[in-house]
């Protein structure tokens, strides 16, 4: 798994382990596999637990300091999810937009899709009339062309929703729609609390 993927997964796992009771932050597919063993102390072992610093519409703004390095992110669950064939089981999906000042990373978009994606497959993220190719690794999605990420985030700030499509390792097609209500405010709060 890439460093990018490990960080996203660890933040998601930390959210789950911390037991944050807010709807947008309950689990990731990796963390959900072991809910009985999850303890708040586990999240704190590598740094501080993620703290909700503001809720804006469907998006929560969070801050954590794993290993003493500040990480801030906006997080949301999909407003609707469909599978084809219908009613296929999967873990909850989440959209993250992360800022990591120590790594000079600002507004990195990632999706934890809730199942293992077909190896080597590509997914898409559609927003504001544009479609962005996403590369897949495990149960995560990231933009394929990093040079387009800033434009994609700006489109997300202006649009009503974003649609993410993927294919599981077993061939199930999924479509998740995330409301973008409150995203701009959540990203502004992340920028305020996570200086570059």
pLDDT of residue 47: 52
Domain that holds residue 69: 52-193
Per-residue pLDDT of the chain (196 residues; tens, 9 = 90+): 343 443 444 444 444 333 332 333 323 332 322 222 222 223 333 457 899 999 999 999 999 999 889 999 999 999 999 999 998 899 999 999 999 999 999 999 999 999 999 988 889 999 999 999 999 999 999 999 999 999 999 999 999 999 999 999 999 999 999 999 999 999 999 999 987 5
DSSP three-state, residue 40: helix
CATH number of the domain that 157 lies in? 2.60.40.1880
pLDDT of residue 50: 92
- Give domain status of residue 124, yes or no: yes
Furthest C-alpha separation in the chain: 44
Global model pTM greater than 0.85: no
Give the separation between CA 159 and CA 196, rounded to whole angstroms. 25
- Give domain status of residue 118, yes or no: yes
Q: How many structural domains compose the chain?
A: 1
- Give domain status of residue 12, yes or no: no
pLDDT of residue 122: 81
Is the Cα torsion angle 65, 162, 177, 182 positive or negative in sign?
Answer: positive
Give the separation between CA 146 and CA 142, rounded to whole angstroms. 9
pLDDT of residue 37: 25
Give the separation between CA 158 and CA 114, rounded to whole angstroms. 26
Give the separation between CA 114 and CA 61, rounded to whole angstroms. 21
- Give domain status of residue 173, yes or no: yes
């Amino acid at each position: 798994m890439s460093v990018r993927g490990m960080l996203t997964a660890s933040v998601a796992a930390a959210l789950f382990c911390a037991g944050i009771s807010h709807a947008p932050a309950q689990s990731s597919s990796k963390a959900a596999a072991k809910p009985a063993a999850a303890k708040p102390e586990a999240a704190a072992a590598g740094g501080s637990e993620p703290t909700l610093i503001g809720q804006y519409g469907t998006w929560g703004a969070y801050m954590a300091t794993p290993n003493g390095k500040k990480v801030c992110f906006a997080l949301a669950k999909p407003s609707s999810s469909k599978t084809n064939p219908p009613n296929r089981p999967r873990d909850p999906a989440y959209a993250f937009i992360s800022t990591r000042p120590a790594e000079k990373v600002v507004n990195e978009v990632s999706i934890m899709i809730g199942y293992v994606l077909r190896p080597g497959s590509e997914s898409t993220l559609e927003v504001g009339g544009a479609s962005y190719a996403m590369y897949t690794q495990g149960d995560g999605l990231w933009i394929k062309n990093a040079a387009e990420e800033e434009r994609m985030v700006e489109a997300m700030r202006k649009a009503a929703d974003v649609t993410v499509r993927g294919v599981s390792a077993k061939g199930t097609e999924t479509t998740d729609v995330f409301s973008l209500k409150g995203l701009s405010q959540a990203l502004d709060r992340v920028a305020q609390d996570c200086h570059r």
